[in-house]
Amino acid sequence: MALPENFCSAPFLQLQTSNNDNCGPCPYNPNLWQVPGNITNKWQSKELENLRKSFLDNKQDPQCKRCWKEEEAGKKSLRLRLSEHKGSKNTKKIFEKYIETKKYLEYPRVLTLIPGNECNLACPSCSGHFSSKWNSLIDNGDYKLQAKKTNWNMSDTDYQDIVDNSERLQKIELFGGEPFLNKRNQKLLIDKLIEKGTSKKITLYFNTNGTVFDDKYMEHITNNFKFVEIRLSMDGLYKQFEYLRYGADFEKVCINAKKFKALPNIDFEIICTVSIFNLLSLDAIDNFCKERNWSVYFNVANWPDYLLLHNIPEETKKHINLGPKFADIEQYMKMKQCDQSAWKQFVQYTTELDKNRGLSFKNTFPTLYELVKKHGYE
């Protein structure tokens, strides 16, 4: 069988799961469905099978609109990046056979886990669902656009299910919260995989805010897993970073980044999530990373609405020129008209943040502020 043009490998290889039985085929769609039961139940669900059929029929499934939108703007979507395995003829043939025989139905090869919301930061782009720190701040502040959520962790049963089926896994991706703060990850997953002897065949992936680095723990991981991937979030530099990663110390995170980069058996990359806040800082972030030999990937934010690029006022968009390197992001920004209600929320939100945290959007992002000040700040 030949794979169609609009094919995506994610629902044949990967499952993302978090709390309340939420699941989806990839990090772009983490909470697409609610499917009761364990990982096998979710993996063999009618929801996932329908999505797989859609891709095999060469349809652009509307549930995956983020990828289609990115590709329309000329950006390399997650679908395209995941499908790069089709590069060699041999790999393509193996994968086509894997689908044709329906061997994929046994168990996912890649598990993307959000195992809890324990976190030490309260980033403006986040919420209490993913950050326990946000919940503690909401108790003591006036945040009208943030609602307190219940702190949560993945169950012991779900961890054990992964360990029991770990011989089928190629990769486990840990998000958060901050995965290096979640001690249950180590006790109920990482240590159990090492004890079982399956860790040497598994790549371990961490999406981290970079505030935590434990030498002994990292040595333990790099010595016992097939490979380790570290993706460190850095959405700005210096005081902009500390505004966007509230509670973090920029210099300390840079020190930790150097430590991660120097580890053996590891792939290290900076992830910069592009929102209204940092749109005008992309060149500076890119140059900063290049000077340190850090690979960097620019990921466009898709939530919440009031931080999305297209919700910059239309008049302001006319004055934004990101240059050839970020032409795809500029095109993405212009693909949709500004939602005025979302922009008003951005103004309200930055005002609330500054009031509750003793910060200044105006002084932290002066170039952006000058472009937008007449749209609600004056």
Q: What is the pLDDT along the chain (378 residues), one digit of tens a residue?
A: 678 899 999 999 999 999 889 999 998 888 899 999 999 999 999 999 999 999 999 999 999 999 999 999 998 899 998 877 544 555 677 678 888 888 888 999 999 999 999 999 999 999 999 999 999 999 888 888 888 889 999 999 999 999 999 999 999 999 999 999 999 999 999 999 999 999 999 999 999 999 999 999 999 999 999 999 999 999 999 999 999 999 999 999 999 999 999 999 999 999 999 999 999 999 999 999 999 999 999 999 999 999 999 999 999 999 999 999 999 999 999 999 999 999 999 999 999 999 999 999 999 999 999 999 999 998
User: Which residues is 204 bridged to in the sheet?
Assistant: 172, 228
Contact 40, 104 (CB under 8 A): no
Exposure string of 287-326, with b = 16+ CB inside 10 Å and e = fewer, is ebbeeeebebebbbbbebebbbbbbbbeebbeeeebeeeb
Q: What is the pLDDT of residue 93?
A: 73
Q: What is the pLDDT of residue 324?
A: 95
DSSP notation for 153-194? B--HHHHHHHHHTGGG-SEEEE-SS-TTT-HHIIIIIIHHHH
Residues 6 or more apart in contact with residue 187 via CB below 8 angstroms = none
CA 183 – CA 116 distance, rounded (Å): 10
Q: What is the pLDDT of residue 140?
A: 82
Whole-prediction pTM: 0.94
CA 253 → CA 210, 211, 317, 369, distances in Å? 5, 5, 32, 26
Q: CA gyration radius for the chain?
A: 21
CA 42 – CA 153 distance, rounded (Å): 18
Contact 195, 204 (CB under 8 A): no
> Token digits for 229?
């991937």
DSSP notation for 221-239? HHHHSSEEEEEEE--SSHH
CA 68 – CA 78 distance, rounded (Å): 10
Q: What is the sign, positive or negative, of the torsion defined by CA atoms of 58, 99, 63, 66? A: negative
361 SS3 class? helix
Q: What is the pLDDT of residue 90?
A: 58
CA 104 – CA 86 distance, rounded (Å): 17
Contact 343, 311 (CB under 8 A): yes
Residues 6 or more apart in contact with residue 315 via CB below 8 angstroms = 375
Exposure string of 65-83, with b = 16+ CB inside 10 Å and e = fewer, is ebbebbbebebebbbeebb
> Token digits for 195?
């004890």
CA 138 – CA 241 distance, rounded (Å): 21
Residue of 234, 251, 237 whose CA lies nearest to 364: 237
Main-chain phi, psi angles of 189, to 5 degrees: -125, -65
Where would I find the beta strands (DSSP E) of the chain?
Answer: 14-17, 22-24, 33-34, 110-113, 171-174, 203-208, 227-233, 266-274, 295-300
CA 348 – CA 122 distance, rounded (Å): 17
Q: What is the pLDDT of residue 355?
A: 94
In order of their start, the domains of the chain are 109-311+319-329 (3.20.20.70)
Q: What is the pLDDT of residue 82?
A: 85
